[in-house]
Structure 1
Amino acid sequence: MARYTGPKAKIGRKFGEAILGANKYVQKKNYAPGMHGRGKKRKQSEYAVQLAAKQKAKYIYGVLERQFAKIFHKASIKEGITGENLLKLLEARLDNTVYRLGIAPSRRAARQLVSHKHITVNGEIVNIPSYQLRPGDIVGVREKSKSLEVIVDSLARRSNRFNWLEWDNKLMQGKFVSYPEREQIPENIQEQLIVELYSK
Structure 2
Amino acid sequence: MARYTGPVCRLCRRDGMKLFLKGTRCDTPKCGIERRDTPPGQQQSRRGKLTDYGVHLREKQKVKHYYGVLERQFRKYYQRAEATKGNTGDVLMSLLERRLDNVVHRLGFGLSRSAARQLVCHGHVTVNGKRCDISSYLVQVGDVIRVKNRSKSLDLAKGHMAENSRQTPDFLSVTGSDVPEGIVGRLPASDDVSIPVQTQLIVELCSR
Same fold (TM over 0.5): yes
Question: SS at the partner of 2:49?
Answer: coil
Q: Which moved more, 1:63-72 or 1:13-22?
A: 13-22
Equivalent residue, structure 2, for 1:28: 35
Alpha-carbon distance between aligned partners in 1 of 2:80 and 2:103, rounded to the nearest angstrom: 19
How far residue 143 of structure 1 moved from its aligned partner, in angstroms, is 1.2
Aligned residue among 181, 186, 200 for 1:192 = 200
Instruction: Compute the displacement of 1:180 (Å).
Output: 1.9
What corresponds to 2:138 in structure 1? 132
Q: CA 1:123–1:2 in 2, change beyond 3 Å: closer, same or farther?
A: closer
Gaps of 5+ in 2: none
Stretch moving more, 99-108 or 162-171: 162-171
Question: Which 5+ residue runs of structure 1 have no aligned equivalent?
Answer: none
Give TM-score, length-normalised by structure 1.
0.93
Q: Is it true that 1:81 corresponds to 2:81 in the alignment?
A: no
Query: Structure 1 residues 147 and 127, CA, compared in 2 at 3 Å: closer, same or farther?
Result: closer
Question: Which whole-Å CA distance do the structure 2 matches of 1:32 and 1:172 have between them?
Answer: 39
What TM-score, normalized by structure 2, do the two folds share?
Answer: 0.89
* Structure 2 residue 158 is matched with structure 1 residue 152: yes
Segment of structure 1 superposing worse, 112-121 or 14-23: 14-23
Equivalent residue, structure 2, for 1:164? 171
Q: Say which SS state the counterpart of residue 175 (structure 1) adopts.
A: strand
Counterpart check, 1:177 vs 2:185: yes
- Which runs of 4 or more aligned residues in structure 1 lie more than 6 Å from their structure 2 counterparts after TM superposition? none
Superposed CA offset, 1:46-79 (max 9, x none) = 1111111111111100111111111111111111
- Are 1:118 and 2:109 counterparts? no
Tell whether the 8 Å contact from 1:94 to 1:133 is kept in structure 2 after alignment: yes
Tell me the CA shift for residue 17 of structure 1.
Answer: 1.3
> 1:94, CA displacement in angstroms?
0.3
Tell me the residue number matched to 1:4. Answer: 4
Worse overlay, 42-51 or 151-160: 151-160
